[in-house]
Structure 1
Amino acid sequence: MKVLAFGASSSKNSINKQLATYTASLFDKATIEVLDLNDYELPLFSEDKEAEIGKPTLARDFFEKIGSCDILIISFAEHNGSYTAAYKNLFDWCSRIDMKVYQGKPAIFLSTSPGPGGASSVLSLAQESSSFFDVNIKASVSVPSFYDNFDMESFCINNMEIKKQLINAVSSVVL
Protein backbone atom coordinates (compact mmCIF):
# COMPACT_ATOMS: atom_id res chain seq x y z
CA MET A 1 0.00 0.00 0.00
CA LYS A 2 1.41 3.39 -1.00
CA VAL A 3 0.36 6.48 0.93
CA LEU A 4 0.99 9.89 -0.61
CA ALA A 5 0.89 12.81 1.83
CA PHE A 6 1.46 16.53 1.58
CA GLY A 7 0.64 19.83 3.17
CA ALA A 8 -1.09 22.20 0.77
CA SER A 9 1.38 24.95 1.62
CA SER A 10 4.74 26.16 0.38
CA SER A 11 5.96 27.08 3.85
CA LYS A 12 9.28 25.41 4.62
CA ASN A 13 8.07 24.83 8.18
CA SER A 14 4.50 23.95 7.21
CA ILE A 15 2.48 22.67 10.14
CA ASN A 16 0.10 21.15 7.60
CA LYS A 17 2.93 19.13 6.08
CA GLN A 18 3.84 18.00 9.61
CA LEU A 19 0.24 16.96 10.27
CA ALA A 20 0.00 15.08 6.96
CA THR A 21 3.32 13.34 7.64
CA TYR A 22 2.28 12.36 11.16
CA THR A 23 -1.06 11.01 9.94
CA ALA A 24 0.65 8.99 7.21
CA SER A 25 2.92 7.48 9.87
CA LEU A 26 -0.15 5.96 11.54
CA PHE A 27 -0.53 3.47 8.67
CA ASP A 28 0.92 0.01 9.30
CA LYS A 29 2.94 -1.66 6.57
CA ALA A 30 2.68 1.20 4.11
CA THR A 31 5.16 2.87 1.83
CA ILE A 32 4.90 6.57 2.60
CA GLU A 33 5.88 9.37 0.27
CA VAL A 34 5.67 12.94 1.52
CA LEU A 35 5.68 15.64 -1.13
CA ASP A 36 6.85 19.22 -0.75
CA LEU A 37 4.90 21.72 -2.86
CA ASN A 38 8.12 23.70 -3.30
CA ASP A 39 9.26 20.94 -5.64
CA TYR A 40 6.32 21.76 -7.92
CA GLU A 41 6.59 25.53 -8.26
CA LEU A 42 4.95 26.67 -11.49
CA PRO A 43 4.20 29.96 -13.23
CA LEU A 44 0.87 31.49 -12.32
CA PHE A 45 -1.83 29.67 -14.25
CA SER A 46 -3.75 31.46 -17.00
CA GLU A 47 -5.13 30.34 -20.33
CA ASP A 48 -2.60 32.62 -22.02
CA LYS A 49 0.29 31.02 -20.11
CA GLU A 50 -1.07 27.55 -20.95
CA ALA A 51 -1.23 28.46 -24.65
CA GLU A 52 2.36 29.67 -24.43
CA ILE A 53 3.97 26.78 -22.53
CA GLY A 54 1.46 23.91 -22.66
CA LYS A 55 1.08 21.65 -19.66
CA PRO A 56 4.24 21.89 -17.53
CA THR A 57 6.22 18.77 -16.67
CA LEU A 58 5.99 19.53 -12.95
CA ALA A 59 2.18 19.54 -13.12
CA ARG A 60 2.26 16.22 -14.99
CA ASP A 61 4.69 14.82 -12.41
CA PHE A 62 2.42 15.85 -9.52
CA PHE A 63 -0.65 14.42 -11.28
CA GLU A 64 1.23 11.14 -11.85
CA LYS A 65 2.25 10.99 -8.17
CA ILE A 66 -1.44 11.10 -7.24
CA GLY A 67 -2.20 8.44 -9.82
CA SER A 68 0.50 6.13 -8.46
CA CYS A 69 -0.70 6.10 -4.84
CA ASP A 70 -3.29 3.95 -3.10
CA ILE A 71 -4.23 6.49 -0.44
CA LEU A 72 -3.98 10.27 -0.44
CA ILE A 73 -3.53 12.50 2.62
CA ILE A 74 -3.81 16.25 2.14
CA SER A 75 -3.60 18.77 4.96
CA PHE A 76 -4.91 22.12 3.76
CA ALA A 77 -3.34 25.33 4.98
CA GLU A 78 -5.67 28.31 5.08
CA HIS A 79 -4.88 31.75 3.74
CA ASN A 80 -7.68 34.24 4.29
CA GLY A 81 -10.28 31.46 4.46
CA SER A 82 -9.19 29.70 1.28
CA TYR A 83 -6.43 27.61 -0.32
CA THR A 84 -2.86 28.83 -0.35
CA ALA A 85 -1.82 30.38 -3.66
CA ALA A 86 0.86 27.71 -4.14
CA TYR A 87 -1.61 24.82 -3.82
CA LYS A 88 -4.36 26.48 -5.84
CA ASN A 89 -1.97 27.23 -8.68
CA LEU A 90 -0.62 23.66 -8.81
CA PHE A 91 -4.15 22.29 -8.57
CA ASP A 92 -5.29 24.56 -11.44
CA TRP A 93 -2.48 23.31 -13.67
CA CYS A 94 -3.30 19.69 -12.81
CA SER A 95 -6.99 20.22 -13.55
CA ARG A 96 -6.01 21.19 -17.10
CA ILE A 97 -4.42 17.75 -17.50
CA ASP A 98 -7.60 16.09 -16.22
CA MET A 99 -10.48 17.52 -14.16
CA LYS A 100 -10.37 14.29 -12.14
CA VAL A 101 -7.26 15.53 -10.35
CA TYR A 102 -7.62 13.08 -7.46
CA GLN A 103 -8.28 10.15 -9.80
CA GLY A 104 -10.82 8.43 -7.54
CA LYS A 105 -8.30 7.89 -4.75
CA PRO A 106 -9.48 7.28 -1.20
CA ALA A 107 -8.39 10.28 0.81
CA ILE A 108 -8.09 11.80 4.23
CA PHE A 109 -8.54 15.56 4.19
CA LEU A 110 -6.97 17.44 7.08
CA SER A 111 -6.38 21.02 8.10
CA THR A 112 -4.68 22.81 10.94
CA SER A 113 -3.67 26.29 12.02
CA PRO A 114 -2.10 27.89 15.08
CA GLY A 115 -5.52 29.27 16.05
CA PRO A 116 -8.69 27.70 17.40
CA GLY A 117 -10.37 27.51 13.98
CA GLY A 118 -8.02 24.78 12.75
CA ALA A 119 -8.31 26.05 9.15
CA SER A 120 -11.83 24.63 9.06
CA SER A 121 -12.93 27.13 6.39
CA VAL A 122 -10.55 25.76 3.77
CA LEU A 123 -11.29 22.17 4.82
CA SER A 124 -14.97 22.83 4.25
CA LEU A 125 -14.20 24.39 0.86
CA ALA A 126 -12.11 21.35 -0.15
CA GLN A 127 -14.87 18.97 0.90
CA GLU A 128 -17.59 20.92 -0.90
CA SER A 129 -15.71 21.01 -4.20
CA SER A 130 -14.31 17.46 -4.01
CA SER A 131 -17.04 15.81 -6.09
CA PHE A 132 -15.94 17.83 -9.11
CA PHE A 133 -12.41 16.44 -8.90
CA ASP A 134 -13.01 12.69 -8.33
CA VAL A 135 -11.88 12.06 -4.79
CA ASN A 136 -13.27 9.51 -2.35
CA ILE A 137 -13.05 11.30 1.00
CA LYS A 138 -13.01 8.67 3.72
CA ALA A 139 -12.44 11.07 6.61
CA SER A 140 -11.69 14.68 7.39
CA VAL A 141 -10.22 16.17 10.55
CA SER A 142 -9.54 19.76 11.51
CA VAL A 143 -6.88 20.20 14.20
CA PRO A 144 -7.21 23.47 16.10
CA SER A 145 -4.39 25.22 17.93
CA PHE A 146 -1.65 23.12 16.34
CA TYR A 147 1.12 24.13 18.72
CA ASP A 148 -1.01 23.23 21.75
CA ASN A 149 -1.96 19.83 20.32
CA PHE A 150 1.23 18.69 18.60
CA ASP A 151 4.47 17.91 20.40
CA MET A 152 7.23 19.27 18.16
CA GLU A 153 9.96 17.31 19.98
CA SER A 154 8.36 13.87 19.70
CA PHE A 155 6.59 14.73 16.43
CA CYS A 156 3.17 13.50 17.52
CA ILE A 157 -0.28 14.63 18.53
CA ASN A 158 -0.46 15.00 22.32
CA ASN A 159 -4.23 15.57 22.53
CA MET A 160 -5.77 12.10 22.92
CA GLU A 161 -9.15 13.10 21.46
CA ILE A 162 -7.54 14.44 18.27
CA LYS A 163 -5.18 11.47 18.10
CA LYS A 164 -8.19 9.14 18.25
CA GLN A 165 -9.86 11.09 15.41
CA LEU A 166 -6.73 10.66 13.28
CA ILE A 167 -6.45 6.94 14.10
CA ASN A 168 -10.13 6.51 13.17
CA ALA A 169 -9.50 8.41 9.92
CA VAL A 170 -6.65 6.05 9.06
CA SER A 171 -8.80 3.04 9.97
CA SER A 172 -11.55 4.24 7.64
CA VAL A 173 -9.18 4.12 4.67
CA VAL A 174 -7.32 0.85 5.18
CA LEU A 175 -7.81 -1.25 2.09
Structure 2
Amino acid sequence: MKILAFAGSNSPSSINKILVEYVAKEFKTQGVEVLDLNDYEMPIYGVAREQQFGVPQKAKDFAEKIDAADLVIMSLAEHNSSYTVAFKNIFDWISRIPGRPHWGDKDIFLMATAPGPKGGINVLEAATARFPYSGGKVVETFTLPKFKDNFDPEKGIVNVEKAKELAYKIGKIKERFELKVNV
Protein backbone atom coordinates (compact mmCIF):
# COMPACT_ATOMS: atom_id res chain seq x y z
CA MET A 1 0.00 0.00 0.00
CA LYS A 2 1.33 3.42 -0.97
CA ILE A 3 0.23 6.45 1.01
CA LEU A 4 0.47 10.13 0.17
CA ALA A 5 0.23 12.56 3.10
CA PHE A 6 0.23 16.34 3.29
CA ALA A 7 -1.09 19.31 5.22
CA GLY A 8 -3.32 21.83 3.47
CA SER A 9 -1.05 24.66 4.58
CA ASN A 10 2.13 26.36 3.45
CA SER A 11 3.08 27.55 6.94
CA PRO A 12 6.53 26.36 8.04
CA SER A 13 5.13 25.90 11.56
CA SER A 14 1.80 24.35 10.50
CA ILE A 15 0.04 22.41 13.25
CA ASN A 16 -1.76 20.51 10.50
CA LYS A 17 1.60 19.40 9.14
CA ILE A 18 2.57 18.23 12.63
CA LEU A 19 -0.69 16.26 12.85
CA VAL A 20 -0.38 14.69 9.40
CA GLU A 21 3.25 13.67 10.07
CA TYR A 22 2.20 12.18 13.41
CA VAL A 23 -0.56 10.15 11.77
CA ALA A 24 1.66 9.15 8.82
CA LYS A 25 4.03 7.44 11.29
CA GLU A 26 1.19 5.08 12.20
CA PHE A 27 1.32 3.79 8.61
CA LYS A 28 5.11 3.49 8.43
CA THR A 29 5.07 -0.13 7.28
CA GLN A 30 2.84 0.74 4.33
CA GLY A 31 5.18 3.24 2.63
CA VAL A 32 4.28 6.88 3.19
CA GLU A 33 5.40 9.93 1.25
CA VAL A 34 4.82 13.25 3.02
CA LEU A 35 4.60 16.27 0.73
CA ASP A 36 5.10 19.94 1.55
CA LEU A 37 2.76 22.29 -0.33
CA ASN A 38 5.61 24.81 -0.54
CA ASP A 39 7.21 22.51 -3.11
CA TYR A 40 4.13 22.94 -5.32
CA GLU A 41 3.72 26.70 -5.26
CA MET A 42 2.29 27.96 -8.53
CA PRO A 43 0.77 31.14 -9.93
CA ILE A 44 -2.76 31.76 -8.70
CA TYR A 45 -5.19 29.91 -10.93
CA GLY A 46 -7.03 31.93 -13.53
CA VAL A 47 -8.76 30.98 -16.77
CA ALA A 48 -6.73 33.48 -18.81
CA ARG A 49 -3.49 32.22 -17.25
CA GLU A 50 -4.45 28.62 -18.04
CA GLN A 51 -5.34 29.52 -21.64
CA GLN A 52 -2.06 31.36 -22.12
CA PHE A 53 0.34 29.00 -20.35
CA GLY A 54 -1.53 25.71 -19.76
CA VAL A 55 -1.51 23.68 -16.56
CA PRO A 56 1.79 24.10 -14.66
CA GLN A 57 4.11 21.11 -14.42
CA LYS A 58 3.95 21.30 -10.62
CA ALA A 59 0.19 20.65 -10.76
CA LYS A 60 0.80 17.65 -13.00
CA ASP A 61 3.52 16.42 -10.63
CA PHE A 62 1.16 16.74 -7.64
CA ALA A 63 -1.55 14.86 -9.54
CA GLU A 64 0.93 12.09 -10.38
CA LYS A 65 1.66 11.69 -6.66
CA ILE A 66 -2.07 11.30 -6.00
CA ASP A 67 -2.47 8.84 -8.86
CA ALA A 68 0.38 6.67 -7.55
CA ALA A 69 -1.12 6.44 -4.04
CA ASP A 70 -3.64 3.99 -2.64
CA LEU A 71 -4.59 6.33 0.21
CA VAL A 72 -4.32 10.09 0.68
CA ILE A 73 -3.99 11.41 4.23
CA MET A 74 -4.48 15.14 4.52
CA SER A 75 -4.97 17.58 7.37
CA LEU A 76 -6.52 20.83 6.24
CA ALA A 77 -5.76 24.14 7.88
CA GLU A 78 -8.73 26.45 8.19
CA HIS A 79 -8.55 30.10 7.14
CA ASN A 80 -11.74 32.10 7.53
CA SER A 81 -13.78 28.88 7.82
CA SER A 82 -12.45 27.45 4.53
CA TYR A 83 -9.39 26.10 2.72
CA THR A 84 -6.10 27.95 2.79
CA VAL A 85 -5.15 29.76 -0.41
CA ALA A 86 -2.12 27.47 -0.81
CA PHE A 87 -4.30 24.36 -0.77
CA LYS A 88 -7.14 25.82 -2.85
CA ASN A 89 -4.73 26.92 -5.57
CA ILE A 90 -3.31 23.40 -5.94
CA PHE A 91 -6.85 21.99 -5.87
CA ASP A 92 -7.88 24.45 -8.60
CA TRP A 93 -4.91 23.62 -10.82
CA ILE A 94 -5.22 19.83 -10.51
CA SER A 95 -8.91 20.16 -11.36
CA ARG A 96 -7.87 21.46 -14.79
CA ILE A 97 -5.87 18.41 -15.82
CA PRO A 98 -7.89 16.71 -18.56
CA GLY A 99 -9.00 13.12 -18.23
CA ARG A 100 -8.69 12.56 -14.50
CA PRO A 101 -10.77 13.16 -11.39
CA HIS A 102 -9.13 15.73 -9.10
CA TRP A 103 -8.45 13.24 -6.31
CA GLY A 104 -7.92 10.29 -8.64
CA ASP A 105 -10.79 8.21 -7.19
CA LYS A 106 -8.60 7.67 -4.13
CA ASP A 107 -9.58 6.90 -0.56
CA ILE A 108 -8.93 9.89 1.69
CA PHE A 109 -8.39 10.10 5.44
CA LEU A 110 -9.37 13.71 5.99
CA MET A 111 -8.31 15.59 9.11
CA ALA A 112 -8.12 19.10 10.51
CA THR A 113 -6.79 20.74 13.62
CA ALA A 114 -6.80 24.29 14.91
CA PRO A 115 -5.88 26.23 18.05
CA GLY A 116 -9.56 26.85 18.82
CA PRO A 117 -12.32 24.68 20.23
CA LYS A 118 -13.80 23.67 16.87
CA GLY A 119 -10.58 22.14 15.55
CA GLY A 120 -11.08 23.17 11.93
CA ILE A 121 -14.52 21.58 11.69
CA ASN A 122 -15.72 24.09 9.08
CA VAL A 123 -13.04 23.22 6.54
CA LEU A 124 -13.43 19.52 7.35
CA GLU A 125 -17.16 19.68 6.66
CA ALA A 126 -16.62 21.67 3.46
CA ALA A 127 -14.07 19.16 2.15
CA THR A 128 -16.14 16.15 3.21
CA ALA A 129 -19.07 17.53 1.23
CA ARG A 130 -16.98 18.61 -1.79
CA PHE A 131 -14.38 15.91 -2.33
CA PRO A 132 -16.74 13.12 -3.45
CA TYR A 133 -17.69 15.32 -6.42
CA SER A 134 -14.00 15.59 -7.23
CA GLY A 135 -13.00 11.93 -7.22
CA GLY A 136 -12.21 11.65 -3.53
CA LYS A 137 -13.65 8.92 -1.33
CA VAL A 138 -13.54 10.25 2.24
CA VAL A 139 -13.27 7.03 4.25
CA GLU A 140 -12.66 8.63 7.66
CA THR A 141 -12.47 12.08 9.21
CA PHE A 142 -10.79 13.33 12.35
CA THR A 143 -10.58 16.72 14.00
CA LEU A 144 -8.37 17.75 16.89
CA PRO A 145 -9.56 20.91 18.67
CA LYS A 146 -7.33 23.10 20.84
CA PHE A 147 -4.16 21.70 19.31
CA LYS A 148 -1.78 23.23 21.86
CA ASP A 149 -3.76 21.73 24.75
CA ASN A 150 -4.32 18.33 23.14
CA PHE A 151 -1.01 17.61 21.42
CA ASP A 152 2.44 17.24 22.92
CA PRO A 153 5.47 17.01 20.58
CA GLU A 154 6.94 14.16 22.65
CA LYS A 155 3.76 12.24 23.56
CA GLY A 156 1.48 12.98 20.62
CA ILE A 157 -2.24 13.38 21.29
CA VAL A 158 -2.67 13.73 25.05
CA ASN A 159 -6.46 14.01 25.08
CA VAL A 160 -7.36 10.40 25.91
CA GLU A 161 -10.71 10.39 24.08
CA LYS A 162 -9.26 11.96 20.93
CA ALA A 163 -6.29 9.55 21.02
CA LYS A 164 -8.69 6.60 21.23
CA GLU A 165 -10.82 7.99 18.40
CA LEU A 166 -7.79 8.44 16.17
CA ALA A 167 -6.43 4.96 16.94
CA TYR A 168 -9.83 3.44 16.14
CA LYS A 169 -10.06 5.26 12.81
CA ILE A 170 -6.49 4.35 11.82
CA GLY A 171 -7.32 0.74 12.67
CA LYS A 172 -10.41 0.84 10.44
CA ILE A 173 -8.39 2.25 7.54
CA LYS A 174 -5.69 -0.39 7.91
CA GLU A 175 -8.35 -3.10 8.05
CA ARG A 176 -10.00 -1.69 4.92
CA PHE A 177 -6.74 -1.90 3.00
CA GLU A 178 -5.91 -5.38 4.25
CA LEU A 179 -9.26 -6.50 2.83
CA LYS A 180 -8.50 -4.81 -0.50
CA VAL A 181 -5.08 -6.45 -0.71
CA ASN A 182 -6.44 -9.91 0.14
CA VAL A 183 -9.35 -9.80 -2.33
TM-score (norm 1): 0.95
- Secondary structure at the aligned position of 1:167 is classed as helix
Whether the 8 Å contact between 1:138 and 1:173 is mirrored in structure 2 is yes
Contact 1:138/1:172 (8 A) holds in 2: no
| Cα distance in 1, alignment partners of residues 6 and 38 from structure 2 | 11
Q: What is the match of residue 147 of structure 1? A: 148
Instruction: Give the conservation status (yes or no) of the 8 Å contact 1:71–1:173.
Output: no
1:130 alignment partner in structure 2? 131
The alpha-carbon deviation at position 45 of structure 1 amounts to 0.3
The CA distance in 2 between the partners of 1:41 and 1:15, in whole Å, is 19
What is the letter of the counterpart of residue 14 of structure 2? S
Matches within 5 A, 1:150-165: 150-152=151-153, 154=154, 156-165=156-165
**Equivalent position SS for 1:115:** coil
Q: Which shows bigger deviation, 60-69 or 22-31?
A: 22-31
Separation of aligned partners in 2, 1:41 and 1:28: 27
Contact 1:22 1:155 in 2 (8 A): no
Q: Size of the alignment, in residue pairs?
A: 174
| Cα shift readout 1:83-131 (whole Å, capped 9, x = no counterpart) | 0001001100000015611111111100000111101000000001112
Distance 1:6 1:169 in 2: 18
| Closer/same/farther in 2, CA of residues 117 and 73 from structure 1, 3 Å limit | same
Asked if the contact 2:132/2:138 (under 8 Å) is kept, the reply is no
AA matched with 1:24: A
Q: Is the 8 A contact 2:37 2:86 kept in 1?
A: yes
Q: Deviations over 1:33-79 (max 9, x none)?
A: 11000000000100000011101000000000011111110101000
Alpha-carbon contact 1:150-1:159 (below 8 Å) kept: yes
- Residue 172 of structure 2: aligned partner: 172
Instruction: Within 5 Å, give how 1:52-131 maps onto structure 2.
Output: 52-98=52-98, 100-131=101-132
Q: Quote the Cα distance in structure 2 between the aligned partners of 1:155 and 1:133.
A: 36
Identity of aligned residues (%): 42
Q: Tell me which stretches of 4 or more aligned residues in structure 1 moved more than 6 Å.
A: none
Specify every segment of 5 or more residues in structure 2 that has no aligned partner in the other structure, as ranges: 178-183
- Closer/same/farther in 2, CA of residues 67 and 117 from structure 1, 3 Å limit: same
Identify unmatched segments of 5+ residues in structure 1.
Answer: none
| Inter-CA distance 64–169: structure 2 relative to 1 (3 Å threshold) | same
Alignment CA distance shift 1:35-1:155 (3 Å): farther
TM-score by length of 2: 0.91
Counterpart check, 1:7 vs 2:2:
no
How far 1:155 sits from its partner (Å)? 5.7
Residue 28 of structure 1 and its aligned partner are, at CA, apart by 5.2
